Amino acid sequence: MQRTPPDLPSNDKRWKLVNATMRRNGYAGHALIESLHAVQDAFGFLDEEAMTFVAGSLDLPLSKVYGVATFYHLFMLKPQGRHSCVVCTGTACYIKGAGALIEGIQERFGAAPGETTEDKSLSVLTARCVGACGLAPAVVLDGHVIGKLGTEQLCERIEREIAE
């Protein structure tokens, strides 16, 4: 029997993007990770509504979707700030002082790795090597890799981004 995928959760156009990804993969269960990437690209994070929708569309138990979403570091279950600052904590960056950057950011903005500032302006994250070891310590600020910055310069840079 042909299974009909569930209706889109709302009129929000972003659901169509998510749905297009799932349709392109024939609503196959093995496209779960691609589908969650599509949700996160569109909405910035995964909430229960989105996971329920993906589970229904791919005919998977919600527990499996939740299991996968929490297994992988890249998937966010909470809304993120307007700006994101990912500090690389790979070996080269560690040697070149990534720890000091994290402390400095926490001191200035009051957000530890994994947290978002209260005014939702900045999310601080860490990554296990972004592969920019030549620029260590590397930071990915709103998708752009920047490197070789000290704590002071980095914090100023972040403040400029937030102010814009």
Partner 1 sequence: MNLDDLEELAAKYRAESKEPDTEIRVCMAASCQSSGAGPVLEALSAACADTPPGQCAVKGVGCMGLCSAGPLVAVAAPAAPLDEAIIYRDVTAADAPDILASITPGAAPVERLRIPSDMPFFARQHRIVLENSGIVDPDSFRGYVMVGGYAGMVRALSEMTPQDVINEVTTSGLRGRGGGGYPTGLKWSTVAKMPPGQKYVICNADEGDPGAFMDRAVLESDPHRVLEGMAIAAYAIGANKGYVYVRAEYPLAVERLKTAIRKAKRTGFLGNHICETQFNFDIEIRLGAGAFVCGEETALMASIEGGRGQPRPRPPYPAEYGLWGCPTLINNVESYANIPPIISNGGQWFAGIGTEKSKGTKVFALAGTIVNTGLIEVDMGTHLRDIIFEIGGGIPDGKAFKAVQTGGPSGGCVPEEHLDIPVDYDSLKTLGTMMGSGGMIVMDESSNMVDVARFFMEFCMDESCGKCIPCRAGTQQMHGLLDKIAKAQASRADLELLEELCEVVQATSLCGLGQTAPNPVLSTLRYFRHEYEEKLG
**Rule CB under 8 A: is residue 6 a binding residue for partner 1?**
no
d(CA 34, CA 65): 12
Quick one: which of 4, 26, 71, 163 contacts partner 1 (CB under 8 A)?
Answer: 71
For Cα atoms 7, 11, 16, give the angle at the middle one, nearest 5 degrees. 65
Residues 5 and 49 sit within 8 Å (Cβ to Cβ): no
**Rule CB under 8 A: is residue 78 a binding residue for partner 1?**
no
CB of 148 to partner 1, least distance (A): 9
CB of 111 to partner 1, least distance (A): 19
Placement of tokens 């509504």 in the chain: 49
**Rule CB under 8 A: is residue 95 a binding residue for partner 1?**
yes
**Rule CB under 8 A: is residue 37 a binding residue for partner 1?**
yes
Spatial CA neighbour of 137 closest among 95, 106, 78:
95
Quick one: which of 64, 82, 108, 157 contacts partner 1 (CB under 8 A)?
Answer: 64
d(CA 73, CA 27): 24
Token pair of 83 as six digits: 């700006």
- What ranges make up the beta strands (E) of 48-121? 83-88
Stretch that binds partner 1, among 11-19, 116-124, 145-153, 155-163 (CB under 8 A): 145-153
**Rule CB under 8 A: is residue 85 a binding residue for partner 1?**
no
**Contacting residues toward partner 1, per CB under 8 A:** 28-34, 36-37, 64, 67-68, 71-75, 89-92, 94-96, 127-136, 138, 143-147
